[in-house]
Amino acid sequence: MVKKAVIPAAGYGTRNLPITKVLPKEMFPIAGRPAIDYIVREAVEAGIEEIFIIISRSKNMIMDYFDRSLELEVFLQQSQKSHLLPLLQFPKVNIQFMRQSYAKGLGDAVRLAEKFVGNEPFAVLLPDQIFINETANTLQHIIATYEQHKGDVVGVKAVAQEDLKLYGVIQGTQLSEGLYNVTDIIEKPQSNPPSNLAVIGRYIFTPQIFSYLNKTGLGVGNEIQLTDAIKQMISGYTVKAKVLESECYDLGKEEEYMALLNYMFNKK
């Protein structure tokens, strides 16, 4: 069973400057809640019991959001606004935080969770990828694939050709509808991508990933890339790619963030 999840949230948010100089992308508001709130709730609904969030020293706002505000609670009680107290409640889950002193890539962030993970399988959820599905939980689908095949799983979606250079892109052998055996993976291919299937924001890993992360050098962008560790791992282990059918909104793209806000507004 997958009971632990890692949320890397220490990046600089350069795609959303200048607002991310003062407001973490993970705290962008979506229908009255920050983006990372939706990520945590997705994890809890999928059965996750412990969450490890990696932040930078400029993102204390994330820690504050998941902390209790006793002063505010007392104020609401004394001001006959107790009906608002349920809005301050969070799902019952154990959340731990660690600061990444310097953002050196997704791979570097994930490997900070090695002691937290121990010998258990774990999920990785990227907080700038919001999945919307009225009837299904995206992480649950990834976990179900892991439980069926007992191996590492990456979530993928078909992406427009011109956008493939922004993602890790897999090459794979199709096993069944929506399921592939990964035979290669390339980070941000600038030409000749191996397919149109990009890795999108949800993963299940076994602890063996850390032995590869710990020996992965700098890659694209002079960063330690999670994709490079996966590429090394598939030489000795089977990695599956599960096509995600939920609609995905990338907060780093203004047009997708606005589309998400519009969707949530119309949903009310």
Q: What would the pLDDT profile of 81-134 be if each residue is shown by its tens digit?
A: 989 998 888 888 999 999 988 888 899 999 999 999 999 999 999 999 999 887
Q: DSSP per residue over 177-223, as a string?
A: TTEEEEEEEEES-SSS-S-SEEEEEEEEE-TTHHHHHTT----GGGS
- pTM assigned to the model: 0.92
Summarised one tens digit per residue, pLDDT across range 124-166 is 999 999 998 877 899 999 999 999 988 899 999 999 888 898 8
- CATH topology for 4-267 is Spore Coat Polysaccharide Biosynthesis Protein SpsA; Chain A (3.90.550)
Beta-strand runs (E) in 108-196: 122-125, 129-132, 152-158, 168-176, 179-187
